[in-house]
Chain A
Amino acid sequence: MSQVKTDWINDTEGLSPEMFQIVGVDTTKDRVLRPHISYWQDAWRRFKKNKLAVFGLILLVILIFMVIFGPIMAKHSFEETNIAESYHPIDGEYWFGADKLGRDYFARVWQGGRVSIIIGVTGAFICAFVGCIYGGIASYFGGKIDSFMMRIVEILSSIPYLLVVILLSLWLDAKGIKTLLIAMCLTGWTGIARLVRSQMITLRQSDYVLAAKLLGVRPLKIVTSHLIPNTIGLIIVNITFRVPSLIFSEAFLSFLGLGIQSPDTSWGALCSAAQTVFTFKPHLMFFPALCIALTMLAFTLMGDGLRDALDPRQRK
């Protein structure tokens, strides 16, 4: 076996300086043709292309505007009773008519909307927050702790959801926003916890996280720049779909008489009260029902759009 030459610097046999001339670089070839777009810019761009989703967003903005300013625009307070105006028809003063006790229905519908939307949005965020932390912890520790935590989730989600709500509202002996929120969030977070956990576990085993680890990226940096951005889309979509389901549940409970109590009101409570006089005063049912339907529509359309827009696999 011959000795391998190791004198790389002085051994220039067969090499000439001409071989090391720059032959020229085609600077136009590798130029980036499109401007750099971040994930969120790209998602927004794709969201805007989806006409139905944009319609949902606009609808939601209008509804939120009305919910905030509606009670102020009305000529009477939502609590002000006036028996003389009982079932006042729709006119310039009572834009949506008046209810049995002569309360301005326009003000009541939007006041009820405040309660419904607050419950929906706050509830969804609480569920998402708790679910993310729980799912994150479970997937971070893994092994026995993970399977124990997931067993708890399974048992919690085996309890009929309606029952928890009914029992809790009786147990706390208070019917109102706070009780409804606690009751609905108590088991509501399990879905998101599962979602976050399974997503985190898949991501941790993915090749680019492995690559990042090999390159010596710090764990915190991996979490913030790989794990969270890849999960946040799913979480946002889940929140968007949870809001209408919470509004629905609230309406359902208020309809059964377990939710918001008079004089405070919500869309579900309004529908419930209107049901008895539906044959004679259908508009009392129509307005709150329409509001529920429009809110559902807005969130569903937006959720569909966001799901498509935030899915990184669909990015081109």
Chain B
Amino acid sequence: MAKYIIKRILYMFLVLFIVVSTTFIMIHSIPGDPLTATVENLPEATRANYYARYGLDQPLMVQLFRFWKLFLTEGSLGESLKFPGRLAEEFIVKYAPISFQLGIWGLVIGVTLGMLLGINAALHKNKLPDYFGTFVALLGTCIPAFVLAALVQYFFTVKHKWFPTAGWGGAIYYVLPVLCMTLSPVATYCRYMKSSVLDVINQDYILTAESKGLPRGKIIWRHVMRNTLMPIVTMLAPSVAGLLGGSFIIESMFAIPGLGTYFVKAINSRDYTMVVAMNFLFTATYVFSLLVVDLLYLVIDPRVRLEVKQNRRAVASNVPSEN
């Protein structure tokens, strides 16, 4: 068991290394560079100095090596090219908590609501809760987040001045952005939960449990829930990554000073350091959530524990690619 976990963690670092290096190389091979505009009218020597300062005069592989060296020895991600003197990790420490807070609120509320709706729909198939669940799920899959955000802003802030339109401050600023971010997970998890529960309640062991007289609540909690959690847990990792990505639009529409806004800005201004740093953070979040999911399997599913014991389990699990 311990061997598997260690292997799994090492694998996580390998993937992180490959992905971040690839991004580094990719962003540096984009035609045009961030300093062009700054150094345009400067004399040749000053220009060369500028490039040397950021190490951009070196071959790509040397730059990549320096990047990893700096990170491993000093834990730094480098200096921003657009904001001289400011380090990339300063931005991350300042703005990441806002994005993560929004994302986590959206995910927790969305997943909980979606699962409840889904279970309810499956247990009352072809009745009102089922139709309601299906309706919400369809709504969530059909309406893009930016349309919902525009509608919500119009009704709740322009027509009825119940909430602030945009900005960032107390709890009241959370309501609308979180609302917009919950809709998509509610829809996804409602759909999956419903089909998953329907699968399970038709199994023979549920019939057995019913026929031996177990109370309904106990059947649902001990047999149905435990078996339906597997596919749901599998989907959590891409959801975490998706919500962080999805918050870009919400952040820009509600003028929230989160990472998303800065990411788009950094890309448009070719701020290599910032792009690589933020991508580092996103990839790390994603890979880490994959690890957590894999470890959760060990807790939830006895079959997985057995596989690990018999050394039959691959290092990485299969995650459905749901965007």
Question: How far apart are B319's CB and chain A's nearest CB, in angstroms?
Answer: 7
Interface hit among B97-105, B146-154, B303-311: B146-154
What residues on B are CB-neighbors of A301 within 8 Å?
138
CB-based nearest B residue for A251:
B144
Is B171 an interface residue, CB under 8 A from the partner? no
Residues on A close to B: CB < 8 A? 147, 150-151, 154-155, 157-163, 166-168, 170-171, 173, 188, 190-191, 194, 198, 244-245, 248-249, 251-252, 255-256, 268, 271-272, 275, 278-279, 282, 285, 289, 292-294, 296-297, 300-301
Q: Please list 22 pairs of residues, one from A and one from B, whose beta carbons are closer than 8 Å in the complex, sorted by A's number.
A: A147-B314, A155-B15, A158-B287, A159-B19, A160-B245, A162-B245, A163-B279, A170-B267, A191-B321, A191-B322, A194-B318, A252-B249, A271-B150, A272-B146, A278-B153, A279-B154, A279-B158, A282-B154, A289-B143, A289-B147, A293-B143, A297-B142
Question: How far apart are B291's CB and chain A's nearest CB, in angstroms?
Answer: 11
Indicate which residue in A158, A188, A191, A297 contacts B138 across the interface (CB closer than 8 Å).
Answer: A297
Is B323 an interface residue, CB under 8 A from the partner? yes
What residues on B are CB-neighbors of A170 within 8 Å?
27, 30, 267
Residues on B close to A: CB < 8 A? 15, 18-19, 22-23, 26-27, 29-32, 138, 141-144, 146-147, 150, 153-154, 158, 241, 244-245, 248-249, 252-253, 264, 267, 279, 282-283, 286-287, 290, 314, 316, 318-323
Indicate which residue in A166, A194, A285 contacts B150 across the interface (CB closer than 8 Å).
Answer: A285
- Bound form: Cα–Cα A296–B143 in Å: 8
Q: Are B245 and A158 in contact (CB under 8 A)?
A: no
- Bound form: Cα–Cα A245–B279 in Å: 22
CB-based nearest B residue for A197:
B318
Indicate which residue in A159, A190, A255, A289 contacts B249 across the interface (CB closer than 8 Å).
Answer: A255
- Bound form: Cα–Cα A244–B322 in Å: 12
Indicate which residue in A272, A289, A294, A296 contacts B141 across the interface (CB closer than 8 Å).
Answer: A296
- Bound form: Cα–Cα A252–B144 in Å: 8
- Bound form: Cα–Cα A252–B138 in Å: 19
CB-based nearest B residue for A167:
B26
Q: Are A158 and B15 in contact (CB under 8 A)?
A: yes
Indicate which residue in B15, B26, B146, B282 contacts A275 across the interface (CB closer than 8 Å).
Answer: B146
- Counting chain A CB atoms within 10 Å of each CB, the highest count among B19, B153, B158 belongs to B19
What residues on B are CB-neighbors of A245 within 8 Å?
322-323
CB-based nearest B residue for A307:
B195
Q: Are B282 and A163 in contact (CB under 8 A)?
A: yes
- Counting chain B CB atoms within 10 Å of each CB, the highest count among A162, A168, A300 belongs to A162
Q: Are A248 and B290 in contact (CB under 8 A)?
A: no
Question: How far apart are A94's CB and chain B's nearest CB, in angstroms?
Answer: 22
What residues on A are CB-neighbors of B142 within 8 Å?
292-294, 296-297, 300
What residues on A are CB-neighbors of B143 within 8 Å?
289, 293, 296
Q: Are B146 and A160 in contact (CB under 8 A)?
A: no
What residues on A are CB-neighbors of B22 within 8 Å?
159
CB-based nearest A residue for B246:
A252
Q: Are A173 and B31 in contact (CB under 8 A)?
A: yes
- Bound form: Cα–Cα A89–B116 in Å: 45
Q: Are B321 and A271 in contact (CB under 8 A)?
A: no
